[in-house]
Amino acid sequence: MKVGIIGLPQTGKTSLYNALTRSQVELNRFGSTEVNVAVIPVPDPRFDHAVAVCSPKKITPAVLEVTEGGGRIEREERKADKFGADFFVAVRNVETLVLTVRAFDDPKIPLPDYGINPRLEAEKILEELLLADLTVIESRLERLDKARLQKRQSPGEAAEQQVLEKLKKSLENLEPVRFVELSEDEKRSIRSYAFVSGKPLIIVANVHEDLAGEENPAGLEALEVYAKEQGVPLIAMCAKVEMEIAQMEPEEEREFLEAMGIKEAARDRLIRAAYAALGQMSFFTVGEDEVRAWTIAVGTIAVGAAEKIHSDLARGFIRAEVISWNDFYAAQGCWDAAKATGKMRLEGKEYVVHDGDILHVRFKV
C-alpha cells in the first residue's frame, strides 16, 4: 500500500516524511528532484501485545510505503505555484494522498502572498486534482464520441463513455471522483485511469510547535469545515516536533510525550488513518515461531484471508479457528492459552473476518 505526501512548497512535507519514517532527509532541498521512499510498520497496540505474550522468534507487522518528493510543486519567483505534469504522474502512482498544509508562522520561512491560510491551500491543490481528472476525461470522451459517430465503438467503450460522462458532470460541479457512487462494473470500466480526485485523502495541518499535542488547535476552524465538506479526516500536528520525537529511543520518546502532555505521537495516528483510508484492516496469526499482522480489505471472508497467508491454505481450506481480539487479550497468553478459555470458534469459508481476529487455518491439500 502506497501513501504519497503532497503539498505546496515550504509546508513541512519533508519534516512530515522524516517524522513518519524516522528518517533524516535534509530539509529545505529547494529545487531537488530527489524522491524519498520508505516502508514503515503500522503501529498497532494489538500486535505489540501479541508479541509480548507469545515471545515469537520472528515478528512481521503490517506496513505502508511512504513517498515524498515525487509530486513536487514548484514555486516561481512571483510565488506562483506550478503544478507540472510530473506532479500528476507521481500522484497517480500512489493509493492514498496525505495533503500537508501550512498552519504555522516562522520568520525564517517566507509567507506566500495570501499569508497563513490552510483552507485556501487545501482548496487550491484539490481543485488542481479535479482539473487534472477533468482534462483526462474530456480528452478520452472526444475519442470515444468520434468512435461512436463512426460506428466503431465497442460495447465496452460504450459502457466506459457512460461512466466518464457521469464523472465529468461531477467534476464540473467541483465534486471529486470519490464522491460519485459507482457499481462494481462501472469501477472496472475505469480502473486503468487511477483518477487522482478519486483517491482516499487525509489532510494534515502542520501547526506551530507551541500547539504541539493540542487536540483542537486554534486557527483551524475553516479548514475543519472544509475537511468535513470533503468527507476526509483532518489531523493537526507539528511536523517539526514529531520529527524530533521520531529520532528518540522508545523510552526517551515515552518520557518526552508524557512531559509534553501528549497521549500519543501524532505520526502514529496519521499512519493508522492512512491504513484505514485504504479500507484495510489487520488479522493476526500468532505462535512461538512468528506473530504476524496480515493486511486485508474490510469485508474479506475467511477463505480470502487464508489465501493471503498462502494459496495452499485457500485451496485446501477446511475451517478457520478464530478467536476475537478481546477474547485473546483477556486470556493474557498466546494461542494455546487463549484456546483453553473455550472462546475459540470454528468458522467456514464465508465467515467475514473482523478487524483484529486471531486466525489459524485448518486445511488439507
What is the rounded (10 degree) CA torsion for 109, 97, 38, 234? 70
C-alpha count within 13 angstroms, C-beta hemisphere, residue 159 = 13
Mean pLDDT of 257-268: 82
- Asked whether this chain's domains 2-44+61-115+198-277 and 127-197 adopt the same fold, the reply is no
Residue 235's SS3 state is strand
Q: What are the extents of the domains in the chain?
A: 2-44+61-115+198-277, 127-197, 299-363
Q: Which grid coordinates belong to 290? A: 512468528
pLDDT at residue 331, as a whole number = 95
DSSP bridge pairs for 360: 321
Q: What is the pLDDT of residues 285-320, one digit of tens each?
A: 999 999 999 999 999 999 999 999 999 999 999 999
Domain 2-44+61-115+198-277 has CATH 3.40.50.300: yes
CATH fold for domain 127-197 = DNA polymerase; domain 1 (1.10.150)
pLDDT digits (tens, 9 = 90+) for 160-207: 999 999 999 999 999 999 999 999 999 998 888 989 999 999 999 999
Looking up cell 490552510 gives 118
* Start-end of H helices in the chain: 13-21, 45-54, 85-92, 118-149, 155-172, 184-189, 221-230, 239-246, 250-260, 266-277, 302-309, 311-315, 325-331, 335-339
Confidence band of 62 (pLDDT split at 50, 70, 90): very high
Q: Residue 134: its pLDDT value, please?
A: 95
Residues sharing a CB contact under 8 Å with residue 13, sequence separation 6 or more, in sequence order: 5, 6, 7, 68, 69, 100
Q: What is the mean pLDDT of residues 259-276?
A: 84
Domain 299-363 CATH (choose: 3.30.450.20, 3.40.50.300, 3.30.390.10, 3.10.20.30): 3.10.20.30
- CA neighbor of 176 nearest in space, from 200, 203, 198, 191: 198
CA distance 119 to 7: 12
pTM, entire model? 0.87
C-alpha cell at 118: 490552510
Residue 30 pLDDT = 61
Given a contact cutoff of 8 angstroms between Cβ atoms, the answer to whether 102 and 223 are in contact is no
Distance, C-alpha 236 to centroid of its chain: 16
Residue 246 and residue 72: Cα distance in Å, rounded?
24
The residue length of the chain stands at 365
Rounded Cα gap, residues 328 and 159, in angstroms: 48
Q: What is the mean pLDDT of residues 338-352?
A: 96
